[in-house]
Amino acid sequence: MFVALSIMLTVGFLVPLGVSVKSQAKLRGVATAQSDARGVATAVAAVAGATGEAPDISEVEFILNTYGTDKLVVVLPDGTEVGEIPYELTSLPISDAGSIVVDVDGGAVALVPVAFADYEKPYVVASFVSNKDLQGGVTTSWLILLALGLIVVFGSVPLADRFAASLVKPMKNLSDAAHRWASGDLEARVSPSGPAEIAESGRAFNLLAERLTGLLSAERERVADLSHRLRTPLAALRLQVESVDNESQKSALISDIANLEGEVTALIEDVRRSDEKQPSISDLATVITQRMGFWQVVAAAQNRELTIECPQGQEILVGSSDAEVLTVLDNLIQNVLTHTPTGIGFHVTVKNEPPSLTVTDEGEGLSSPDVFDRGSSTGESSGLGLDIVRRIAESSGGDVRIGEGSGANIIVKFGQAN
Residue 76 has what pLDDT? Answer: 81
Residue 346 has what pLDDT? Answer: 95
Those residues with Cβ within 8 angstroms of residue 160's Cβ, 6 or more apart along the chain or in another chain: 2, 3, 6, 167
Q: Are 108 and 100 in contact (CB under 8 A)?
A: no
Residue 375 has what pLDDT? Answer: 46
Q: What is the pTM of this model?
A: 0.40
How many of the other CB atoms lie within 10 Å of CB of 4?
Answer: 8
Burial class (CB in 10 A: 0-12, 13-18, 19+), 341: exposed
- Give the domain ranges of the chain: 279-413
Sheet holding 356-361, edge to edge: 306-309, 346-351, 356-361, 409-413, 399-402
Residue 6 has what pLDDT? Answer: 65
Residue 1 has what pLDDT? Answer: 55
> What is d(CA 317, CA 191) in angstroms, rounded to the nearest whole number?
31
How many of the other CB atoms lie within 10 Å of CB of 17?
Answer: 24
Residue 286 has what pLDDT? Answer: 94
> What is d(CA 114, CA 123) in angstroms, rounded to the nearest whole number?
5
Residue 37 has what pLDDT? Answer: 79
Strands (E) in 190-314, as ranges, are: 282-283, 306-309
* DSSP codes, 286-342: HHHHHHHHHHHHHHHHTT--EEEE--SS---EESS-HHHHHHHHHHHHHHHHHHS-T
Read off the pLDDT of residues 56-101 as tens digits, 9 standing for 90 and up.
Answer: 888 877 887 877 767 788 888 777 778 777 666 656 666 555 677 8
Q: What is the identity of the amino acid at 9?
A: L
The CATH class given to the 279-413 domain equals alpha beta
> What is d(CA 350, CA 31) in angstroms, rounded to the nearest whole number?
37
> What is d(CA 174, CA 168) in angstroms, rounded to the nearest whole number?
10
pLDDT under 70: residue ranges of the chain: 1-6, 9, 49-52, 69, 86-98, 117, 156-167, 184, 220, 223-228, 231, 255, 259, 262-263, 265-279, 367-385
Residue 228 has what pLDDT? Answer: 64
> What is d(CA 356, CA 351) in angstroms, rounded to the nearest whole number?
5
Residue 306 has what pLDDT? Answer: 94
Residue 262 has what pLDDT? Answer: 65
- At 404, is the secondary structure helix, strand, or coil? coil
Residue 148 has what pLDDT? Answer: 78
